[in-house]
Amino acid sequence: MNNYASPFDADEGAAEILTEDALSFWRPPPRLPMDEWAEKYFAHAKDGVFKPIGYQREILRVMGDRSTKNVTFLKAARTGMTMMMSIAAVYYASVDPLEVALLQKTGDDCNGVGADLIDPAFANCPETAKLLATTATRDSLTHKVLGNGASLKILAANSPRSLRRHDVDILMLDELDGYEVTSEGSAADLAEARTRNSLRKKVIAGSTPTREDVSEIYARWLRSDQRHYFVPCPHCQGEQTIEFESLYLVGHDKETGEELFKRADLVTKGYYDSLTHRHTVMECACCKERISERHKAQMVESGRWVAQNPEVEDHAGFHVSTLLSPFPEASWTILISEFAEKRASIERLMTFKNTVLGQIWSDSTTKLSAEDLMKRSGDFSLDAIPESVLLITAGVDVQADRAEIIYIGWSQEGPIYILGHKKVYGDPTGGLWPALDAELKNTYQHPLGHKIGVAATCIDSGAFTSHVYRYCAGKQGRNIYAIKGASGQRPLWSDSKATNTQGAKLYIVGSDTGKETWVHRLTISDPNEPGYVHFSGPGLPREDDTLFQQFLAEVRMVALKGGQLKEFWKPRQGVRSEGMDCVVYALSAREALAPNWEHLRDKLTAKHQKQQKTKRKSYDFSDLD
């Protein structure tokens, strides 16, 4: 037996080692799931590291798998979704040599994402930095070409030219509902068309939603498997989603020290401010125990995604609320404070629902009828004012032979009351105005003892403009304002720069916003909830339902006009609009005021107490006689 070792054997072994070393340089690293890859390699500008939150892990894994062709997340703010988009972009450009495009709303947004997220990720991670081409023209904030043949482009959704020029494999649409419709159509559709020739096509779309009937992200979400994040109760382990309505604000009354407990969606700003030592608990849907917010982080880490539409196989959808966020600025108590601050304004309440809860905004006024409103009638009027009403506003619509007036009574944070409807007849070019002035000077007995008058009045100047200006001139001390309605998304109340107003100060009323505010209030079904609308029984005509039909005179519609989705208000056939118009004007009059509710109540109560004291003195003296 020959045990002689040939020198060529050593050479062969060395050759194998050298070959393996050479190949390992070019061989890509093992393909990790995206969440693990991000934790190991991804770095960003803030602190240089990334650690996925519990709910982010499955989202990242699905974004990185090769079987799911569509991923949609209906998201709130402060949930890390743009970060995950950026991770996916870098992952696909680095791990898979694919053509990747990340769409942002504008060019400025593209530069911001490139500077804050993408560039630091490549610069701080050797695994990705070594893949970058060295020529400066191929490595910019918004366009990177890698040595493995992949490319990453950050494109502006408002630039049709840039969308046409690039074929892509992986398309990411960030804040989709914020894209404007371009001159060539939908930016999302234009970009998605560039994926048709790809064998590895994947479309990832994420956005905070907007309105139900115009939200593109919500339409995509409905086509997905609709996953919700379930967390375990620390007491009973029962699984449930975290809903705003399951949170309760706990605190102590500043005056009495009593511990109070109220559901989050019923908290008003006044109530929130009346408490000290505020904190929030969640009521378990299973065992009804209170769950302290200190358990939130662990609950979220232990949670899991559950599909509500599991038969859909190639389209994953995730709903992500800020209520899941572990960041300090997203504590439950802070979010309740934000809700309480915003709930009085429909525009701000809509923003809260979209950006904090990640929910679409919808209304159901098309299902309401005049009969539904008449069922809300109560035994109150201008002659029998509810005790909680501390402020009255009026809205006036001028017609060819009359002025129509709606009076609204306002409580501090509770329901509102349609106190009455009046018609003042006269010629708007002459005799109407003294009669209207006398009507608006009327005062009404308040149950607290004092008489209450109209605090603010808005008069539409769309008809008989010069006569409205002439009447309103010099009456700002009585808060009587000439107004002009303007459509579109604008504030309910704003100044006008108009100067040719004959001495009157003109204000602009966002008529669409006012109608939105009104119809939203009509959808509130709980009589005790802030914003609920009560209608006067004796103060509104009951001969027929004409006025109540007018309260629903218009419905909000959406239509494609000039290649763009436009919202507009459409009159109901055969229904006059004075009732709804007057309500909007009275609502806007409230916006002109900044009432001190305690002062208003004290003023009424002090007068009442003085009257009662005078009566007692009179009784005592007569008794001495």
Q: What is the pLDDT of residue 592?
A: 92
Confidence of residue 618 (pLDDT cuts 50, 70, 90): very low
The domain made up of 370-606 is a member of CATH 3.50.50.60: no
Q: What is the mean pLDDT of residues 580-601?
A: 94
Instruction: Lay out the sheet containing 247-253: strands in order across.
Output: 259-263, 247-253, 275-283, 290-292
- 30-44, 58-72, 120-134, 219-233: the lowest-pLDDT one: 120-134
Residues facing 283 on adjacent strands: 290
- Give residue 526's pLDDT: 86
What does the pLDDT read at residue 473? Answer: 94
pLDDT at 270: 87
CATH of domain 34-226: 3.40.50.300
Contacts 24+ apart (CB under 8 A), 219-224: 220/70, 220/72, 220/176, 220/317, 221/72, 221/74, 221/317, 221/319, 223/72, 223/312, 223/315, 223/317, 224/70, 224/72, 224/309, 224/312, 224/315, 224/316, 224/317
Find the range with the poorest average confidence among 162-176, 240-254, 268-282. Answer: 162-176
Contacts of 298 (CB under 8 A, 6+ apart): 234
Mean per-residue pLDDT, 55-83: 93
pTM: 0.72
Q: Which pLDDT does position 137 carry in this prediction?
A: 44
| pLDDT classification of 169: cutoffs 50, 70, 90 | very high
Residue 289: how many CB atoms within 10 A of its CB? 14
Tell me: the pLDDT tens digits for 346-394?
778 888 999 999 999 876 555 788 999 999 999 999 999 999 999 999 9
Mean pLDDT for the stretch of residues 158-187: 80
First to last CA, the chain: 146
- Compute how many other C-beta atoms are within 10 angstroms of the C-beta atom of residue 413: 17
Residue 18 has pLDDT above 90, yes or no: no
Of the candidates 319, 351, 320, 325, which has an alpha carbon nearest to the alpha carbon of residue 338?
351
pLDDT of 78 strictly over 80:
yes
Report whether 589 contacts 394 (CB < 8 A). Answer: yes
Secondary structure of residue 364 in the 3-state scheme: coil
Rg (Cα) of the chain, in Å, rounded?
A: 32
Average confidence score pLDDT of the chain: 86
Mean of pLDDT values over 406-432: 94
pLDDT at position 1: 46
Q: What's the average model confidence in pLDDT over 212-222?
A: 88
Provide the pLDDT for residue 286. Answer: 96
Q: What separation in angstroms does the CA of 265 have from each of 140, 212, 268, 484, 589?
A: 47, 21, 8, 34, 26
pLDDT at 611: 52
Where residue 464 falls among pLDDT bands split at 50, 70, 90? very high
Helix (H) or strand (E) holding 600: helix 597-624
Who wins on pLDDT, 32 or 74?
74
- State yes or no: pLDDT of 303 exceeds 90: yes
Q: Inform me whether the pLDDT recorded for 207 exceeds 60.
A: yes
8 A C-beta contact, residue 515 and residue 554: yes
Give tens-digit pLDDT for 94-124.
787 889 999 998 889 899 888 888 887 777 7
- The predicted model gives 252-280 an average pLDDT of 93
**pLDDT for res 622:** 32
Residue 197 structure tokens: 């020739």
Pairing mode of beta strands 70-75, 315-320: parallel
For 481-503, what is each residue's pLDDT tens digit?
999 999 887 889 999 988 888 88
How much is the average pLDDT of 8-13?
Answer: 52
pLDDT of residue 170 exceeding 60: yes
Q: What integer pLDDT is reported at residue 344 of this predicted model?
A: 75
Q: Please tell me the predicted confidence (pLDDT) of residue 297.
A: 95
CB atoms < 10 A from the CB of 185, how many? 14
Calculate the alpha carbon distances from 70 to 81, 100, 203, 317, 344 in Å: 16, 15, 5, 8, 38
Collapsing DSSP to helix, strand or coil, 266 comes out as helix
Q: What mean pLDDT is predicted for residues 66-92? A: 89
Q: Give per-residue pLDDT as tens, 311-356.
A: 999 999 999 999 999 989 999 999 999 999 988 777 788 889 999 9
Range in 280-284, 292-296, 326-330, 560-564 with the lowest mean pLDDT? 560-564
More reliable by pLDDT, 593 or 23 = 593
Domain ranges of the chain: 34-226, 240-297+325-357, 370-606
Question: What's the confidence (pLDDT) of residue 149?
Answer: 80
Q: What percent of the chain has pLDDT over 90?
A: 53
